[in-house]
Amino acid sequence: MPAPDDGRSAAQARAAIQAALGQIGFCLPGTITIRRARCGKPPCACTADPPALHGPYIQWTRTVHGKTVTRPLTPAQYQAYAPWFANARRLRALATELQALSLKEMARAEGWATITPGTPAPPRTRPVRGPNPDYPKPPKTPGDQPA
């Protein structure tokens, strides 16, 4: 989808993103890996020249509760769920696009040149508070005393 620099307003670009989001169906997170392999047995066709490799081996990898989970998929399962993986990629792309549009609109509304990582923050409206010299320090514990 083109950026709002093509003459559309930010509201029109947001509406287009919302419409595209409404078209997305089921989404499956993670990564699909399709590979072929050699078994290493001398009489096997996978050691011939040219080799006839085993596979395809289709693996679906994702993170569940902070752990990597890998599941094998059959070619039929992969064909059935490939659109769901494509929907997840499309969803991530649309979310990224909406975030970029939001950053651009916030910068425009606040009169900032840009909002990008690594650029200095806009000036503060009140000074940052430093440490309070009147605040009592915690008492030292016996373990903190020099021997």
**For 9-41, what is each residue's pLDDT tens digit?**
899 999 999 999 999 999 999 999 999 998 888
Given CA atoms 132, 134, 136, 140 in this order, what sign does their dihedral have?
A: positive
How far is residue 89 CA from its own chain's centroid?
Answer: 10
Are 31 and 39 in contact by the 8 Å Cβ rule? The answer is no
The HSE-up count of residue 14 (CA atoms within 13 Å, CB side) is 10
Query: Is a pLDDT exceeding 60 seen at residue 130?
Result: yes
Output the pLDDT for position 3: 46
Output the pLDDT for position 1: 45
Q: Which residues contact 29 (CB under 8 A, 6 or more apart)?
A: 62, 63, 88
**For 93-128, what is each residue's pLDDT tens digit?**
999 999 999 988 888 888 776 666 666 666 666 666
Q: What is the CA radius of gyration of the chain?
A: 28
By three-state DSSP, how is residue 51 classified?
Answer: coil
Output the pLDDT for position 70: 96
Cβ neighbours around 13 below 10 Å, total: 22
48 vs 17, more confident: 17
Cβ neighbours around 139 below 10 Å, total: 6
Q: What is the pTM of this model?
A: 0.64
Concatenate the DSSP letters of all residues of 57-120 into one string: EEEEEEEETTEEEEEEE-HHHHHHHHHHHHHHHHHHHHHHHHHHHHHHHHHHHHT-S---TTSP
* Local confidence band at 4 (pLDDT 50, 70, 90 cut-offs): very low
